Amino acid sequence: MVNTETSEVREVGPWVATHASEINNAVAVRRAVKGGVVQVCELANPEHIATITATAWANFCAKVRNYEYQPEAYGNIAIFRIAETGTSPKPIITTMTNYQVFTHSIREGRFDKLPPVEIGLSVGKWLTATSMV
């Protein structure tokens, strides 16, 4: 079990990411200025981004807060999908530790007020949580 007491949420480039002192990467989320979309990714694999509506994000967060959502688990690997009506959701693959810190942060309300960012066609410069001081 990860120590969620030492976890924090940091801005990493255009992303808001969960971070625990014992891990180097994180699950990250960002909200677009335009279009009402939210994007979620594992910072270690930033090309694999799930783009969803703000409503789908809110529904996912509600399920996490009520302990109604469980990821697929394969040893220390967690795979989760944020369901979007009428689509096949893209999986986010992370470690179980990252998933636990991410869902703890959702339950604590740390992603409730995502700052809007410009989301263009490129992913831009990526920073890891450990490079932030």
DSSP code string of 65-120: HTT----EEETTEEEEE---TTS-PPEEEEEHHHHHHHHHHHHTTTTTTPPEE---
pLDDT exceeds 70 at position 19: no
The mean per-residue pLDDT over the stretch 6-20 comes to 58
The mean per-residue pLDDT over the stretch 89-98 comes to 89
Antiparallel, parallel or unpaired: β 116-117 and 77-81? unpaired
Average pLDDT over the chain, rounded to an integer: 78
Can you give the pLDDT at residue 58?
A: 94
**Nearest CA to 81 among 51, 37, 126, 122?**
51
CB 110 within 8 A of CB 64: no
1 band by pLDDT with thresholds 50, 70 and 90: very low
